[in-house]
Amino acid sequence: MTGENNSGGFVADKDDIHRTKRPSIDTNDSNSSRFSGESQKPKIGPPPGTYVIELPKNQIFRVPPPENAHRYEYLSRRKPNQTSCRRCFCYSLTAVLILLVLAAAAVGILFLVYRPQKPQFSVSGFSVAGINLTSSSPITPVIEAKVRSQNGNGNIGLIYVEGIAAEVFYNGTKLGNGVFAALKQPAKNVTVMTTALKGSRIQLTSSLRKELTESQKKGKVPFNLRIEAPVKFKVGAVTTWTMTVKVDCKITVDKLTASATVITEICDTGLSLL
């Protein structure tokens, strides 16, 4: 009885012990594991002594990779220079275009209001020396030409700048060249310009010598005089840019001497605005 009671009591006491201890053990284990797990989790955030600075997205600058850093630096240095040069070029081009438009407008008004006329030319004298047709040696011609320039404009003056070039030909062969002096020609004025056209050691072919000889015998020796004259039109205080007057004169003289007389002459005058 006592043993059974003891055993029964023991068993009962043992079960009671197990029942009372199991929850406490489980509770302690779960709590300890939970707290230990939480303590072992890595904390999210900057380590101690670190500062976090938040910037707006539009203030974040991109940093090029190291292999492109040198090129980025080179381009960033060049860009301002290129931009300034491009800006200067655009400004200069705009200024030139504006000047051209203003000049074209001024010339248009000038031509509409005053209707300028190109000058007219004629040859009043043409003496020849240095052409010996009796010898086959080279010739050294000296031809003195007197050219009349007539300005028929009533309110426009002419300014012939330096470089009035002249050339003389016989049957396509150039015999000499020269330059007229610069001059200013008022409105409604006629001015005579004189120059010496010279050639050096010009070898004439036998056929050309024969033609010259026959022409002199007939008293009709043809020459061709060409003139290119840079000229400006002047109206009051306004002066145009330099234009070019081109003159082509066909001349016939009676002989190849210093006392030659001009028999016929026809001059065609053209004006180039550029």
pLDDT for the residue 184:
95
In a domain, residue 263? The reply is yes
Question: In this predicted structure, which of 69-73, 144-148, 197-201 has the lowest mean pLDDT?
Answer: 69-73
pLDDT for the residue 104:
76
In a domain, residue 191? The reply is yes
Residue-wise pLDDT for 120-153, tens only, equals: 999 999 999 999 998 889 999 999 999 999 999 9
**Of residues 196 and 69, which shows the higher confidence score?**
196
Number of structural domains found in the chain: 1
Is pLDDT of 160 > 90?
yes
Is pLDDT of 2 > 50?
no
pLDDT for the residue 93:
87
In a domain, residue 193? The reply is yes
Q: What is the CATH number of the domain that holds 130?
A: 2.60.40
In a domain, residue 255? The reply is yes
Structural domain containing residue 177: 119-273
CA dihedral 4, 7, 8, 12 (to 10 degrees): 170
In a domain, residue 70? The reply is no
pLDDT for the residue 48:
65
Is pLDDT of 59 > 80?
no
Residues with Cβ within 8 Å of 274's Cβ and at least 6 positions away in sequence, in order, are: 243, 244
In a domain, residue 113? The reply is no
Number of residues in the chain: 274
pLDDT for the residue 52:
66
In a domain, residue 258? The reply is yes
In a domain, residue 197? The reply is yes
